[in-house]
Chain A
Amino acid sequence: MELKIRKNGNNYIIDVNGEMDLYNSYKLKELVMKMLEKKVERFIINLENVDYIDSSGIGALIYICSTIKKMSFRLIITNIHGSVKKVIELTKLMGYFPITNSIEEAILQMED
């Protein structure tokens, strides 16, 4: 799994590439925690290039989401598709995560 950060205004977009599985999901969690330490407040996690997620990956997203919510900062997860979407649906967390269909939509929501 590869993680890339890009900036759009005050938003930090994290592009996740690869599989979010039991061997590497902690990397995303660690990256977000480091960014929080550096006072980043607006996160967009882009899962466009993620075709596989397991319970560890979902667990990492839950941890990130609850940490950011507790700090009253902003998070949007975007471009969820295929089996990743199915796993989140099976876990019934589509309503729990803040989700948009595209990065553009995420950026617009951040402005609200």
Chain B
Amino acid sequence: MADLTYLSEIKQIRVNENSPLFDKTGMHYKEFPSDFRQIRYFTLLIVQSAPLEIKEINLLEQQISEVIKNAVKHGNRCAVGKKVRVWYSFDSAHAHLIVQDEGDGFTDLEKWNDFNRKRLEILSAQDFERLADFVSWRTIKSDDNDGGNALFAALEYWDGGFVFNDARNAVAMLKSFPQKKHAIG
């Protein structure tokens, strides 16, 4: 039987430079060279400012690492002279990031959205045979180490939005964390 939950809200990567998520007011800033070997180290430098109340810090670190990896590898093509710029702010309720590279931008964005829509339709039909062709987004630039699945998870994880600027070389994202309800006594 079809599982319609996959289709209830098909999320898309959007382009909107005027999104409030691009407002950098009050955000911290760091910039890094596009050194592939140091992606997880750069990520830790950012994540270390997240408050301890945030649960699943491993997951937050992983999701940030994917976005920085995309900027270093796919945006700047690992040209060490090209910078990755990161604006970030964390509190117990939110993680907000903007990551910008010096590349040509995510030109295949519409193709990716089409691919993802088909993937979700196949998941909805629970057609695991056909799903095999939609588990990984590949382009002619993909190599064997590209999982091709990072953006599927990113769209789900960044529940407050995942939005590109007009040049498509910067992405802004927001995650909301569930808050403990304090008993009133």
A residues apposed to B, CB below 8 Å:
21-23, 25-26, 29, 51-60, 62, 66, 69, 82-83, 86-87, 90-93, 95-96
Q: Is the CB of A90 within 8 A of B156?
A: yes
Number of B positions contacting A (CB below 8 A) = 32
Q: Does B139 contact A (CB under 8 A)?
A: no
Whole-angstrom distance between the Cβ of A22 and the nearest chain B Cβ: 6
Chain A residues with CB under 8 Å of B113's CB are: none
Q: From residue B141, how far is it (CB to closest CB) to chain A in Å? A: 15
A69 contact set on B, CB distance < 8 A: 132
- What are 12 contact pairs spanning A and B, CB under 8 A? A52-B61, A54-B62, A55-B147, A56-B146, A59-B145, A59-B149, A83-B56, A87-B62, A90-B153, A91-B152, A92-B119, A96-B132
A22-B69, A59-B136, A62-B136 given as contacts; is B62 within 8 A of A52 (CB)? Answer: yes
With a CB–CB cut-off of 8 A, which chain A residues contact B128? 95-96
Whether A92 contacts B123 by the Cβ 8 Å rule is yes
Q: Is A55 a contact partner of B58 (Cβ separation < 8 A)?
A: no
In contact, A83 and B58 (Cβ under 8 angstroms)? yes
Interface residues of B in 106-157 (CB under 8 A from A): 119-120, 123, 126, 128, 131-132, 135-136, 144-150, 152-153, 156-157
Chain A residues touching B, majority SS: helix
Q: Which of B131, B132, B150, B156 contacts A55 (CB 8 A)?
A: B150
A-B CB contacts (within 8 Å), total count: 84
Contacts A62-B135, A90-B156, A96-B128 hold; do A56 and B56 have CB atoms under 8 A apart? no
By a CB distance below 8 angstroms, the chain B residues around A54 are 62, 65-66, 69, 147, 150
Instruction: Compute how far the CA of A66 lies from the CA of B144 in the bound complex, rounded to whole angstroms.
Output: 14
Q: How far is the CA of A87 from the CA of B60 in the complex (A)?
A: 10
Interface contacts beyond A21-B40, A59-B136: sample of 7 additional A-B pairs, CB < 8 Å, sorted by A:
A22-B69, A23-B37, A52-B61, A55-B147, A86-B56, A91-B156, A95-B128
Residues of B within 8 A of A62 (CB): 135-136, 147, 149
Q: Smallest CB–CB gap between B160 and chain A, Å?
A: 15
If A59-B149, A62-B136 touch, whether A86 touches B59 (CB-CB below 8 Å) is: yes
State how many angstroms separate the Cβ of A19 from the closest Cβ of chain B.
Answer: 9
* Chain B residues with CB under 8 A of A59: 136, 145-149
Q: List residues of chain A with CB within 8 A of the CB of B153.
A: 55, 87, 90-91
Bound CA–CA A21/B64 (angstroms): 13
- Inter-chain contacts of A82 with B (CB < 8 A): 58
Residue with the highest number of chain A CB atoms closer than 10 Å, among B40, B66, B135, B136 = B135
Decide if B6 is an interface residue (CB 8 Å cutoff).
yes
